[in-house]
């Protein structure tokens, strides 16, 4: 109890220095937590991927389409329970600014949302969507962002598929959990197909990729090989992989950036250590005579170590808590500003644990040298110490 009182008094002795050290630690922890949140947000799509879904795309590149006729052949493979398909539509809403971008897909209205149950659409809305060719279903986040309501028309200027496209909002989907992307728009592939037959007939009868539901996730590798074997001699060879591997391929395009962010986040921990260690060493050096006096009064070396380490740990703990607290409003601001870039942007529990663990670890490491030095110093040498 006496040691704790002394630690508190020591913290308040140089209020400005203590405040600035805590503030520096808080910003460092905030930077670490924020960078880690960016990295985890980038991997959310991978982590949320289903183990019982496969994706079949063109073997050369995702941008090349596949024939619609492949579907009937894929469905016959043992172990496959259902097959759906989708097509990346792109297009321009209002203008080409990033703020007006959101993913737009042409899907098979009858099967796609069954294979992706994480996108929850009210039954009545879904039935209307299936019946009306130019209808669409949009995510809750972009619905709120643009202030749309059911029945509104979304005008899209086509680029991959040229022309003016008007879609009527007939449904709003919500994510089954926080990992689901609520920033997408789905419309009927059949509507796209009808328009292509009129405008560019040679582009009809094609899809972007197939989404395959399998009965047993353990059979994913074997079923993937069977699917690709069907079209090995065709002009449009396929590559089938798990949904997680498919998502990972997109994340890998930014792997260098993500690795850099991770490295920087750990470098920041080193900076925290140097800042706190410098403060604690300065404090301990100033109090050598005081520690010698305390020893003459009966304080043990353990008490002296407790004084130094306690001050370091309290500063580290307060700085860590403040830094973590700063991270939450910043994460919320980023999530609101970039909903399509980061459909899920929240501070993960693992990030909080890591940030706090590192903060306390830094507090311990920063105190080791000055605490041991103060504990070992002889009373006579300590009393001779000046400044």
Domain with 133 in it: 60-236
pLDDT value at residue 219: 92
- Contact (Cβ atoms closer than 8 angstroms) between residue 288 and residue 382: yes
216 and 75 in a common domain: yes
349 and 223 in a common domain: no
CA–CA dist 355, 269 (Å, integer): 9
196 and 166 in a common domain: yes
- Contact (Cβ atoms closer than 8 angstroms) between residue 177 and residue 346: no
Tell me if 324 is assigned to some domain.
yes
pLDDT-derived band at 55, boundaries 50, 70, 90 = very high
107 and 38 in a common domain: no
Mean pLDDT of all residues in the chain? 84
Tell me if 54 is assigned to some domain.
no
Nearest to 298 by CA among 370, 379, 382: 379
359 and 214 in a common domain: no
202 and 102 in a common domain: yes
pLDDT-derived band at 229, boundaries 50, 70, 90 = very high
Question: Lowest-confidence range among 106-110, 205-209, 365-369?
Answer: 365-369
- Which tens digits make up the pLDDT trace of 312-349? 888 888 888 999 999 999 988 887 777 766 777 788 88
Give the tokens for residue 358. Answer: 């590192």
Mean pLDDT of 151-163: 92
Question: Lowest-confidence range among 32-46, 178-192, 352-366?
Answer: 32-46
pLDDT value at residue 284: 66
Tell me if 52 is assigned to some domain.
no
pLDDT of 296 higher than 70: yes
Three-class HEC string of 194-241: HHHHHHCHHHCCEECEEEEEECCHHHHHHHHHHHHHHCCCCCCCEEEE
**Residue ending a domain, choose from 171, 203, 236:** 236
72 and 175 in a common domain: yes
Domain count for the chain, please give it: 2
Count CA atoms within 13 Å of residue 179 on its CB side. 14
pLDDT of 89 higher than 70: yes
Tell me if 248 is assigned to some domain.
no
pLDDT of 63 higher than 90: no
213 and 268 in a common domain: no
> What does DSSP say about strands 163-175 and 135-139: parallel, antiparallel, or unpaired?
parallel
Nearest to 176 by CA among 138, 123, 120: 120
pLDDT value at residue 193: 94
Mean pLDDT of 35-61: 81
- Contact (Cβ atoms closer than 8 angstroms) between residue 327 and residue 1: no
341 and 269 in a common domain: yes
**Residue ending a domain, choose from 236, 271, 287:** 236
229 and 312 in a common domain: no
Tell me if 55 is assigned to some domain.
no
Mean pLDDT of 26-50: 79
- Contact (Cβ atoms closer than 8 angstroms) between residue 366 and residue 70: no
Question: Lowest-confidence range among 48-52, 78-82, 151-155, 195-199?
Answer: 48-52
Mean pLDDT of 209-230: 94
307 and 163 in a common domain: no
The better pLDDT of the pair 310, 109 is held by 109
Tell me if 258 is assigned to some domain.
yes
Tell me if 249 is assigned to some domain.
no
The better pLDDT of the pair 286, 127 is held by 127
269 and 150 in a common domain: no
> What does DSSP say about strands 119-120 and 153-158: parallel, antiparallel, or unpaired?
unpaired
Tell me if 242 is assigned to some domain.
no
Q: Is the pTM of this model over 0.75?
A: no
């Amino acid at each position: 109890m006496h040691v704790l009182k002394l630690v508190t008094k020591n913290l308040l002795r140089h209020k400005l220095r203590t405040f600035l050290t805590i503030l520096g630690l808080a910003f460092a922890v905030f930077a670490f937590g924020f960078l880690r949140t960016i990295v985890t947000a980038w991997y959310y799509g991978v982590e949320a991927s289903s183990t019982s879904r496969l994706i079949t795309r063109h073997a050369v590149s995702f941008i090349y389409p596949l024939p619609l006729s492949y579907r009937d052949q894929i469905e016959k493979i043992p172990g496959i329970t259902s097959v759906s398909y989708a097509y990346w539509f792109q297009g321009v809403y209002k203008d080409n600014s990033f703020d007006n971008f959101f993913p737009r897909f042409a899907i098979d209205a009858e099967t796609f949302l069954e294979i992706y149950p994480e996108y929850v659409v009210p039954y009545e809305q879904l039935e209307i969507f299936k019946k009306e060719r130019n209808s669409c279903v949009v995510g809750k986040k972009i619905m709120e962002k643009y202030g749309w309501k059911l029945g509104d028309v979304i005008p899209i200027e086509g680029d991959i598929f040229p022309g003016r496209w008007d879609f009527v909002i007939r449904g709003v989907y919500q994510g089954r959990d926080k990992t689901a992307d609520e920033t997408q728009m789905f419309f009927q592939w059949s509507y796209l197909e009808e328009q292509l037959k009129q405008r560019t007939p040679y582009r009809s009868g094609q899809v972007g990729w197939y989404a395959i539901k399998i009965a047993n996730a353990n059979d994913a590798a074997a079923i993937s090989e069977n699917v690709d074997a069907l079209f090995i001699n065709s002009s449009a060879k396929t590559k089938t992989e798990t949904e997680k591997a498919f998502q990972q391929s997109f994340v890998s395009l930014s792997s260098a950036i993500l690795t850099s962010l991770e490295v920087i986040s750990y470098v920041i921990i080193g900076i925290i250590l140097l800042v706190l260690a410098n403060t604690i060493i300065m404090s301990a050096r100033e109090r050598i005579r005081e520690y010698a006096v305390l020893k003459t009064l009966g304080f043990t070396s353990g008490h002296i170590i407790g004084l130094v380490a306690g001050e370091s740990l309290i500063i580290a703990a307060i700085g860590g808590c403040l830094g973590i607290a700063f991270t939450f409003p910043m994460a919320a601001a980023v999530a609101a500003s970039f909903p399509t870039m980061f459909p899920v942007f929240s501070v993960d529990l693992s990030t909080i644990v890591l940030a706090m663990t590192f903060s306390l670890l830094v507090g311990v490491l920063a105190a080791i040298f000055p605490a041991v030095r103060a504990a070992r110093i002889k009373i006579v040498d300590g009393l001779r110490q000046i400044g």
